[in-house]
C-alpha cells in the first residue's frame, strides 16, 4: 500500500524559506507511470495546487507561486521536497504531497495523499 508522509517545521518566520519533505513508501517515485504533486490548503479554505514533478525531473509550477517555489526529488531516499521562499502569512496552510496518476486518458488524478502538515508563518 502506497503511503506518503510530509515532514518539516511547523513554524516559519516571515521572509524566510519554508522547506518540507515528503517520504514515499510502498512504491518508487522513480516510476514513469506516475508523477508527484504538492497542494496546500489555508485553514478553513479551499485547495490550491502548487506544482508537479515528473519522471524526468521536469517541473511545472502554478504561475502565482512560480517565482518562489522549487520542487525536487531524491530517488535514493524516495523523497520529494518543496521549498517556498520569502514566505508571508498568506503562505500559512496545510501542505500536502500527492501521487498524480493518469487513468484512461484522464491526467492529474490525485489518488494517494499524505496526511498533510500545517505550516504557520509567524514571527
- CB of 89 vs another protein, minimal distance in Å: 20
The residue (of 32 and 58) whose beta carbon lies closer to another protein is 58
Which of residues 17 and 64 has its CB atom nearest to another protein in the complex? 64
Residue 110 C-beta: closest distance to another protein, Å: 6
Q: Is 105 in the site for another protein (CB under 8 A)?
A: yes
Q: Measured between alpha carbons, how far is 103 from 84 in angstroms, rounded to an integer?
A: 30
CA atoms of 53 and 71, how far apart (whole Å):
7
Smallest separation, CB 94 to another protein (Å): 9
Q: Report whether 35 contacts 52 (CB < 8 A).
A: yes
70 within 8 A of 62, measured Cβ to Cβ: no
* Contact positions with another protein (CB under 8 A) in 3-62: 46-49, 60, 62
Shortest Cβ 14–another protein spacing (Å): 26
CB-count exposure of residue 25 (10 Å: 0-12, 13-18, 19+): exposed
Question: What letter would DSSP give residue 90?
Answer: G
Tell me which residues touch another protein (CB under 8 A). Answer: 46-49, 60, 62-63, 96, 98, 103-111, 113-116
Amino acid at each position: 500500500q502506497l503511503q506518503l508522509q510530509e515532514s518539516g517545521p511547523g513554524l516559519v518566520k516571515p521572509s524566510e524559506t519554508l522547506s518540507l519533505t515528503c517520504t514515499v513508501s510502498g512504491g518508487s517515485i522513480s516510476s514513469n507511470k506516475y508523477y508527484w504533486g504538492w497542494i496546500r490548503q489555508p485553514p478553513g479554505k479551499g485547495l490550491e495546487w502548487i506544482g508537479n514533478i515528473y519522471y524526468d525531473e521536469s517541473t511545472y509550477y502554478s504561475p502565482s507561486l512560480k517565482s518562489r517555489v522549487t520542487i525536487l526529488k531524491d530517488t535514493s531516499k524516495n523523497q520529494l521536497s518543496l521549498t517556498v521562499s520569502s514566505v508571508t502569512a498568506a503562505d500559512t496552510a496545510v501542505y500536502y504531497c500527492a501521487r498524480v496518476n493518469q487513468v484512461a486518458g484522464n491526467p492529474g488524478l490525485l489518488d494517494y495523499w499524505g496526511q498533510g502538515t500545517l505550516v504557520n508563518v509567524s514571527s
